[in-house]
Structure 1
Amino acid sequence: MNLRPFPILPAPAFNLAPLQENHYGLAKIDPPWTFETYSENGKEKSAEQHYSCMSLDDIFALDIDRLAHRDGMWVWLYATAPMYDAARACFDKWNVKYVTQGVWVKMVKDGSRPTFGTGYVLRNCHEPFLIGKIGKPRIHSRNIRSAILEPRREHSRKPEQGYVEAAKMAGPYPKADIFAREQRIGWDAWGKETTKFNPQAEAEAA
């Protein structure tokens, strides 16, 4: 009897190359969310004025789970208040188990008070971030607070303390910065603007 061999299909292309598969203990993700605005003033302040945004389906399609080290991986996902439900849905699509959340309270330049941001009901002065995990990553630090109080800088530039705390979570494992806008020692950066806030790039833009 001639048996037909079962076809071996090629694995789908990894869409986060050149990041390494099965390598990271923490992935920090800052998606370019698309958010609908309802006024010309809102459009002027929207993310689309600063960088290219992605559809939710395209964000869902990212191969986040293929980044995870065999020992597990923490996921630190920045969101916005209007996109909070979408951020939770990302975890489901990426096979990430939700664990907890924190907030970045955006302070004025001198750190004396929160900023006065945009919003339709409340004027936002914070940005939530969700913490999830793939597998069973080890807890490397138990002194990470859920709130970061740091001045707001350029549009979409994230607080330095967030990187400090995320590095504590990762421990000795490699770290990935997805949709990065700055190259950092000890992090593998991925995105279209990975040097935007590096000193040389800032000097050239000035």
Structure 2
Amino acid sequence: MNRGQGAAENHYPTMSIQEICRLPVAELAAKDCALFLWVTFPQLQDAMKLFEAWGFTYKTLGFAWVKQNKSGKGFFFWMGYWTRSNVEICLLGIKGHPKRISKSISQLIISPLEQHSKKPDEVRKRIVELFGELPRIELFARQKTSGWDVWGNEVEGSASSRILENAGKGDGNRGICISTQRFDKGKK
């Protein structure tokens, strides 16, 4: 289904929410773990299903990204269903009792758009400030980031690219997951 140039499936393969819910994140996540989940507003209900399927409890908004245009001199506005959209949110869920080490982390991030679906690097920095040097994995990663395991079809040569395929084999526990949503509301 082609829903315009911005539609995710025009840029990369997508999965249905049911397929994403079946990823073995629940068995790979550490006993005390935080999950940061990028979601668009029309997909909030699916995000709550995902938290539950993966064994996490939704807690709050982790980050709100106010998107600037690529020049950084104005704001970017997309079409939206009812109002013209700009903000993309990253929800925070937990499993167990992860410990935060900083109380100074702000939710608000104002930064320019880059390539389609790429999230601001600032988010990863703030997650590390919030929870410290714990094992971390980014699901559906677009790039390798120092200090993070990555999994996704756009990340080449990562030894950790087999983490999810080898669920339950070896030490899969990770302290923090960050997922960039790659589900298509139209797929059932």
Structures share fold, TM-score greater than 0.5 = yes
Task: Give the aligned partner of residue 104 of structure 1.
Answer: 65
Q: 2:86 aligns with which of 105, 121, 125?
A: 125
Q: Following TM superposition, by how much is the alpha carbon of 1:170 offset from its aligned partner in structure 2, in angstroms? A: 3.0
Rg larger in structure:
1
* Residue correspondence of structure 1 range 3-18 to structure 2 within 5 A: none
Structure 2 residue runs without a partner (length 5+): 157-188
Does the CA contact (< 8 Å) of 1:103 and 1:147 recur in 2? yes
Q: Partners in 2 of 1:86 and 1:118 — Cα distance?
A: 21
Secondary structure of the residue that 2:124 maps to in structure 1?
helix
State the structure with bigger RCO (CA 8 A, min sep 6), 1 or 2. Answer: 2
Distance 1:160 1:75 in 2: 17
Aligned to 1:114: 75
Distance in 2 between the 1:108 and 1:45 partners? 15
TM-score (norm 1): 0.71
- Larger relative strand fraction: 2
* Contact persistence 1:74–1:169 (CA under 8 A): no
Which whole-Å deviations, capped at 9, do the CAs of 1:112-151 have from their partners, x for residues lacking one?
3321212121111111111011110001211111111110
- Post-superposition Cα deviations, 1:53-111, rounded to whole Å, max 9, x if no partner, equal 101100111122223224x1110000011111111111111110111113111112343
1:156 equivalent to 2:117? Answer yes
Contact 2:65/2:109 (8 A) holds in 1 = yes
Structure 1 unaligned segments of length 5 or more: list them.
Answer: 1-35, 196-206
Q: Which residue of 2 aligns with 1:182?
A: 143
Equivalent residue runs for 1:58-69 within 5 Å: 58-69=19-30
Contact persistence 1:180–1:191 (CA under 8 A)? yes
Structure-2-length-normalised TM-score:
0.77
Q: Percent same amino acid at aligned positions? A: 33
After superposition, what is the alpha-carbon deviation per residue over 1:11-63, rounded to whole angstroms, capped at 9, x for unaligned? Answer: xxxxxxxxxxxxxxxxxxxxxxxxx7xxx6x3332111000010110011112
Instruction: Give the 5 Å matches for 1:1-206.
Output: 42-70=3-31, 72-101=32-61, 102-195=63-156
Moved over 6 A (4+): none
Q: Indicate the larger mover: 128-137 or 166-175.
A: 166-175
**How many pairs align?**
155
Alignment root-mean-square deviation, CA? 1.5
